[in-house]
């Protein structure tokens, strides 16, 4: 009888532990809770315009999350994730694009995201837009591409309108202080109007991604605002990828994990030293001795026997550069599973 009670207690304990480990993932709505926004309305947009939106997703569970599939319910939209595997604490984006060249007028769709780990779940996010037939952008966005820090850039796109003889763009609005824009009328004839949209990026724009919208303010009564997407990237002399290294979840006392950190320069350069803020010996990285435009640094972490989260900031000193560059690393050490 005593043996039976002990066995029952053991299995009950195992069941409780198993439930605790998966409770976060099994709770209703765990997958939907990872999304920062639950829907998106593109509003009224011009035909031919690049219309994209990024749904941010953050793994706020304590387990690895895998995106099995992304799809949409209308051929007017398409979706793709920036990555499909997220460790605990990781963030990613699911980018949705609206096809404004093939489709017009009111369009409704849904983004459906399917997860198969740590448990099966499906999230449905509504998407809508109204695509104008009278205003056409060519090309559909302002794309600066890669711009070197300290360099200004200019892009011009065509705006074509068909309708009223007296249709006008009154002004152009942009909230980015490093971007200026103006609409220059080119032609007006028999209900057709053409403008050049001239967009300038200032030379003092900071390093980083450009993803903004500007708005054409027209004299239309019902839909005076026409959004135009702006994309690009201001690049430093040397860039680091990834700037935030994720080691994920490691087992206490387990094997080391290595992640490659890539440094790219516009010309060959030499790395003088790499320093960690804490001096933690658990991190291992070999200092390259060559001079070249691309350096691959294998960064390793050896997990200790103590469970918990870890984070570190690394400073890289480049020969001839006044300011060093930095990147971060983080992860979590999980307790080792007891052997049976």
pLDDT at 28: 56
DSSP β-bridge partners for residue 313: 328
Residue 187 is part of which domain span? 141-235
Asked if 266 and 310 sit in the same domain, the reply is yes
8 A C-beta contact, residue 48 and residue 103: no
End residue of a domain, out of 191, 211, 235:
235
155 and 179 share a domain?
yes
Question: Quick check: is 7 in a domain?
Answer: no
Report which of 138, 146, 151, 142 is spatially closest to residue 46, judged by C-alpha positions.
Answer: 138
Flag whether 145 is in a domain.
yes
pTM of the shown model: 0.68
Report yes or no: 111 and 95 within 8 Å, Cβ to Cβ.
no
Matching residue, tokens 């933690």: 280
Domain assignment of residue 9, yes or no:
no
Count of CB atoms situated within 10 Å of the CB of 45: 23
Please name the helix (run of DSSP H) or strand (run of DSSP E) that holds residue 8, with its range, or none: helix 2-26
117 shares a domain with 151: no
3-state secondary structure at position 4: helix
Give the C-alpha separation, 148 to 262, whole Å.
Answer: 18
56 and 123 in a single domain? The answer is yes
| Within-domain flag for 11 | no
The total number of structural domains in the chain stands at 3
Asked if residue 50 is part of any domain, the answer here is: yes
pLDDT of the residue at 279 = 86
> Which of 102, 129, 156 is the C-terminal boundary of a domain?
129
**Distance (Å, rounded) from C-alpha 205 to C-alpha 152?**
8
* CB of 327 closer than 8 Å to CB of 245: yes
Report the C-alpha gap between 115 and 122 in whole angstroms.
6
Same domain, 156 and 123: no
Tens of each residue's pLDDT in the chain, 340 residues: 444 444 444 444 444 444 444 444 456 589 999 999 999 999 999 999 989 999 999 999 888 899 999 999 998 999 999 999 998 888 999 999 999 989 999 999 999 999 998 999 999 999 999 999 999 999 999 999 989 888 999 999 999 999 999 999 999 999 999 999 999 999 999 889 999 999 999 999 998 889 899 999 999 998 899 999 999 999 888 889 888 898 988 898 888 899 999 999 888 999 999 999 888 888 999 888 899 999 999 999 999 988 999 999 999 999 988 888 899 999 999 887 765 4
Asked if residue 165 and residue 108 are part of one domain, the reply reads: no
Based on the fold, state whether residues 180 and 266 are members of the same structural domain. Answer: no
In a domain, 3, yes or no: no
Tokens at 330, concatenated? 């983080």
pLDDT score of 135: 94
* d(C-alpha 190, C-alpha 168), whole Å: 14
Q: Does residue 145 sit in the same domain as residue 217?
A: yes
Q: Which of 129, 161, 189 corresponds to the end of one domain?
A: 129
CATH number of residue 38's parent domain: 2.60.40.10
- Are 222 and 251 found together in one domain? no
Residues 209 and 256 occupy one common structural domain: no
The verdict on residue 2 lying in a domain is no
Q: 260 and 188, same structural domain?
A: no
- Please tell me whether residues 118 and 147 are part of one structural domain: no
Question: Does residue 20 form part of some domain?
Answer: no
């Amino acid at each position: 009888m005593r043996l039976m009670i002990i066995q029952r207690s053991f299995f009950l304990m195992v069941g409780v532990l198993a439930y605790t480990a998966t409770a976060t993932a099994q709770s209703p709505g765990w997958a939907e809770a990872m999304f920062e926004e639950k829907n998106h309305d593109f509003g009224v947009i011009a035909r031919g315009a690049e219309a994209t939106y990024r749904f941010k997703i953050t793994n706020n569970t304590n387990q690895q999350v895998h995106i099995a599939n992304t799809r949409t319910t209308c051929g007017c939209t398409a979706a793709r994730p920036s990555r499909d595997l997220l460790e605990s604490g990781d963030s990613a984006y699911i980018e949705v694009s609206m096809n404004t060249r093939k489709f017009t007028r009111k369009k409704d769709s849904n983004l459906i995201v399917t997860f198969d780990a740590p448990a099966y779940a499906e999230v449905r996010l509504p998407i809508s837009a109204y695509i104008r037939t009278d205003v056409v952008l060519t090309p559909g966005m302002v794309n600066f591409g890669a711009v070197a820090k300290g360099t200004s850039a200019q892009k011009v796109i065509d705006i074509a309108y068909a309708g009223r003889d007296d249709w006008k763009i009154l002004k152009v609005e942009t909230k980015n202080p490093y971007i200026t824009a103006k609409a220059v009328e080119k032609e007006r004839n028999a209900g057709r109007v053409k403008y050049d949209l001239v967009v300038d990026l200032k030379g003092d724009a900071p390093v980083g991604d450009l993803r903004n919208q500007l708005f054409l303010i027209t004299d239309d009564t019902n839909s005076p605002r026409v959004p135009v997407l702006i994309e690009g990237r201001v690049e430093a002399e040397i860039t680091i990828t990834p700037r935030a290294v994720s080691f994920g979840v490691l087992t206490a006392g387990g094997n080391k994990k290595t992640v490659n950190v890539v440094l790219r320069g516009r010309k060959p350069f030499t790395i003088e030293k790499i320093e960690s803020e804490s001096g933690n010996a658990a991190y291992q990285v070999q200092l390259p001795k060559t001079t070249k435009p691309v350096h691959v640094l294998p960064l390793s972490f050896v997990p200790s026997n103590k469970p918990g989260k870890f984070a570190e900031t690394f400073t890289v000193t480049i020969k001839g550069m006044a300011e060093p560059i930095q990147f971060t690393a983080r992860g979590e050490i999980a307790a080792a599973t007891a052997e049976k």
